[in-house]
Structure 1
């Protein structure tokens, strides 16, 4: 694949959600947070400094998708050492969690809405510990300095945008009484264009600025979190918060058409799922088919179904059960799974394969596969600096508004990450004390000849890996401009016949696949919100692009601008 042909397609001008710079780049789902990160770069901060400042900013400007009590995976490329590490801030089950917490007295699974909003839905949040660790290892500025822009933003207030409005319209019923005081003042939902100030969140941010992340895990804030979860039947304890540690891990890596793709390892599930699908797609040579052809959409759909079947069967917390990583990526196993494609009809039931045959030092758990994942919302953001360092994070409260529980007096929402577990106590991804649920988050770096080429990620729960995969192949296989690669219509499905689809998929492709026994959802849906940076090593430029499904905007930094700061 000729990288120069790809670079020629990148456009320097166009929509407001496209930018280019030679000294740094930040992309996120809100314009305010991207600007915060770029300002840190202008003032001499590095990529990790900027990423942390963006996370704090998103806690203010996108508080229903991420925040202080969220989970996340940070992936960092150190340009000097030429190595990538993962800092895991994934939420963890409290040590008093019960395996049967999400089934009733008849052993029937409790409906999602009912199990996602009480205190039992709240897992140990890890994002602040992750950024505390990341800044200790890679940052150049102080925690206090990096929190200051978010505090100023919180004091000034943010304008309610379409993402806020959509979340309130669709999921406002999930909010606790405390949360409704902020999001539904006087019983009326916040309206688009309205400026809103969360005074309690501002107070909390100032407290964290002064006392650091320890106050969230051991101090006054920790007590407030535990108090509210206990009042709502949760089991989170002060011991859980105090004992939480952010792990530094080695990433997974695989090659796709001459590009090295680097992702987090399990219990992150999105990364392995992406690499697995790319191995299938490389053998099928997707680029031989037109980008809007039915063949392409057929291949994407079946690939997602094959991946989902294996993901639900085998992915779990590796501290509890072996995960057949090598087996799933083994060339001989890929050949076995390729036999499922037929180009004539939808394969009725795609059952899990047997990757254990190609991963002999590991043992099957013997537990049941998880059922299809539920949808959720998240956010993704990336920062790149003038030294060549890149930092990216996908962080989440799990569902929009998380558990809906707002900590009284502190102005932030708690996650519902416990619902990332399979509610079936016998499932391989079932609830167990001190266990990580499998996560779909997929922060991704792509390298060419050892040099950074692309960084990308997306929110969207189980659809995350579909968004990342399709954007990546749009750039590499179809040599699209980055923004066009993001905006090209995407598809998603699990193991069944129903396909979620975005506006723009040709009716001829849909009709052909319907004859093959696929079922397209009645109306198109927005799938994911990809944020990405492409690196032009030849010309020393960074191209940033944001997805139009949210109002985010890349913020670039150019050399003259930074030197004059």
Structure 2
């Protein structure tokens, strides 16, 4: 039985404004984006600033050495443009260097067969070609209004100061301290004496900061040279050399050849609403399948509605697992992803998800650049002969699910972090806004379930008894509550525009996340 308080109530205030709004998993990243909007920047400009700042302040969740996807809504043209900046396996990767160990399933996010020494999960051999910087760089080149270098200044300033290790950061570092200690450069950045997680005492005011000065130098280089400065020239060569010196495959040629994909988002019609999702090897098609099944479902009562959610999610995830090569994830394993959403005063929107994949990615730091590197190789099935089998120069299958939606005079940008839990959260919140006619505040405070390809439903214990009973009749159901740690459900962030009024919200249990208006600054 849980020892947590039964009387504590958590809510987040939602501002409504004619100004632009940024909703991010880290408040200071949202503030950086909102400051750009206040200075006259476009939603894309705000997304650039937010992306780089959140990479400094949530380094274990994402960063320049990761990947992801985003959808941009352009109010003047009515275009919904998708950008897939997912990671790729290096061209020189040797599949023979990832032999199966015969020791059962791997212990991180995906239940693949275990590889010898977990070479696909952790260490330099787990590092894939990063895509985040090129993805946001292409967006800025197409729509940005403010100078690229100006947009990186907030991230550079935060990196020079060093991220403050408060209690929440210390908790996350402690969760992976043993793994971080295996890489000398990761240990130097995140640990004290190479063993203990940085942090402060129970009653002490935190004053520990990460030394991110090398990262600040690298960001300054990217600010001056542009997005391609991450992929070409001295910085790229140093990064590749660091990875290869530690036994990985990433090369300067891999970096120079990387290009994010940009094209039309996939439209999804639903009742009287219209969604736009990521096509291809993402969770966008899975979201579309959920909504297709919900369209003909009975949503007349809360009990019927949540049962319909469970059925649609279960079927959609079964199809995903069977056809796309993603065999699901270990439920208790933490993901390493962040999401933010932006709306500016003109109605342009961005829904953007970026990730390192596992928490702290590969747990390897590039000493020359200061960047924590991804472990994108883990996205591939190490067994050969399957749709998602590991191979050189191959795109990774992702669980990211940024979504744009519109119904009536409401338009919203939505997404989440949380691995396989993402589709459950995003599809339910989308339904809350469309079928339940909720605003962003109501939708984010409404309890959810998680049904992500497992054998049981995970339900918020605050759901009405009749809903829980109906779910239990459908499938084995466990109840839990939304807490700060661990997250039993995904961690969403979204913005909404209703008429000319903008608003936003983040996961109510996140101690760092906030939606910030340009008028709040």
Bucket of the pairwise TM-score, normalised by the shorter protein? 0.7 to 0.9
* Equivalent-residue separation in structure 2 for 1:465 and 1:546 (angstroms): 16
- Paired residue for 1:530, among 492, 495, 500? 492
- Paired residue for 2:149, among 135, 144, 147? 144
The reply on whether 1:158 has 2:116 as its aligned counterpart is: no
* Equivalent-residue separation in structure 1 for 2:437 and 2:152 (angstroms): 39
Structure that is richer in strand per residue: 2
The gaps in structure 2 that reach 5 residues or longer are 1-9, 110-117, 201-205
- Paired residue for 2:237, among 223, 236, 254? 223
Determine the structure 1 residue equivalent to 2:318.
309
The reply on whether 1:289 has 2:301 as its aligned counterpart is: yes
- Could you tell which deviates more after superposition, 501-510 or 244-253? 501-510
- Paired residue for 1:28, among 21, 24, 38? 24
* Equivalent-residue separation in structure 1 for 2:278 and 2:400 (angstroms): 9
* Equivalent-residue separation in structure 2 for 1:494 and 1:74 (angstroms): 22
Q: What pairs with 1:198-347 in structure 2 (closer than 5 Å)? A: 198-268=212-282, 270-286=283-299, 288-290=300-302, 293=303, 295-315=304-324
Alpha carbons of structure 1 residues 512 and 21: separation in structure 2 relative to 1, 3 Å = closer
2:426 partner SS: helix
1:378 partner SS: strand
Q: What pairs with 1:124-139 in structure 2 (closer than 5 Å)? A: 124-139=129-144
* Equivalent-residue separation in structure 2 for 1:482 and 1:386 (angstroms): 17
Q: Do the aligned partners of 1:17 and 1:548 also contact (CA within 8 Å) in 2? A: no
Q: CA RMSD in A?
A: 2.5
Alpha carbons of structure 1 residues 454 and 426: separation in structure 2 relative to 1, 3 Å = same
2:336 partner SS: coil
Q: Do the aligned partners of 1:498 and 1:521 also contact (CA within 8 Å) in 2? A: no
Q: Do the aligned partners of 1:17 and 1:546 also contact (CA within 8 Å) in 2? A: no
- Paired residue for 1:413, among 365, 372, 375? 372
Alpha carbons of structure 1 residues 82 and 481: separation in structure 2 relative to 1, 3 Å = closer
Alpha carbons of structure 1 residues 278 and 166: separation in structure 2 relative to 1, 3 Å = farther
For residue 531 of structure 1, report the CA deviation from its aligned partner: 0.7
- Could you tell which deviates more after superposition, 522-531 or 251-260? 522-531
The gaps in structure 1 that reach 5 residues or longer are 1-13, 316-368
Alpha carbons of structure 1 residues 77 and 522: separation in structure 2 relative to 1, 3 Å = closer
For residue 135 of structure 1, report the CA deviation from its aligned partner: 0.8
- Paired residue for 1:190, among 193, 198, 212? 198
- Paired residue for 1:390, among 330, 342, 349? 349
For residue 289 of structure 1, report the CA deviation from its aligned partner: 1.8
* Equivalent-residue separation in structure 2 for 1:304 and 1:495 (angstroms): 8
Q: What pairs with 1:352-371 in structure 2 (closer than 5 Å)? A: 369-371=325-327
Given the two structures, how large is their TM-score scaled by the length of structure 2?
A: 0.87
Given the two structures, how large is their TM-score scaled by the length of structure 1?
A: 0.80
Determine the structure 2 residue equivalent to 1:46.
42
